[in-house]
Amino acid sequence: MFSQKINKYTEETYHEFFGSLYNILLQWIFNRPEIIPLEDIDGLKIYFIEFLLCPKEQDTDYNEYYTLEYSDEIVDLFIQLKDICSSSGTQFLHEKGRTSDDLSEFILKHAMINDKNESGIIDEELDHDYEFSYI
């Protein structure tokens, strides 16, 4: 499948197509230093292609900070990827029930989120605001 052309009107193969979608995802992740992939770049690519080919991997990971911070951006990223799929004549990400939540869960499953609460930034600020004396 990977060496096949996407359609008869283009020379682009599925391998190249998946690579271009993956590059968009990587760019999005690397522009957010608090999101740290758990896999190396090649390993994550395999999981991403599997995500595209096998819809609805139901996972219930939840991170409140991640959800509140990135949900709008992930919706935009999902729409961008979905539009690219549509314009190339493929049906990836167009399956019934496929939403940006699936992409959000994929990223959360394959990345570590370093939020402000976990990094100690807030704790350091609190330590400076209060002085405790031990008698």
> 82 near 94, Cβ under 8 Å?
yes
For residue 34, how many other CB atoms are within 10 A of its CB?
Answer: 16
Q: Which of 58, 49, 50 is nearest to 97 (CA)?
A: 58
Question: What pTM does this model have?
Answer: 0.78
Taking only the tens of pLDDT, the chain with its 135 residues reads 778 888 777 888 889 999 999 999 999 999 999 999 999 999 999 999 999 998 766 665 667 778 888 899 999 999 999 999 999 888 899 888 888 989 999 999 999 988 655 444 433 333 434 343 333
Tokens 């999981």, residue located? 47
Per-residue b or e along 97-134, where b marks 16 or more CB atoms closer than 10 Å to that residue's CB? ebebebbbbbbbebbebeeeeeeeeeeeeeeeeeeeee
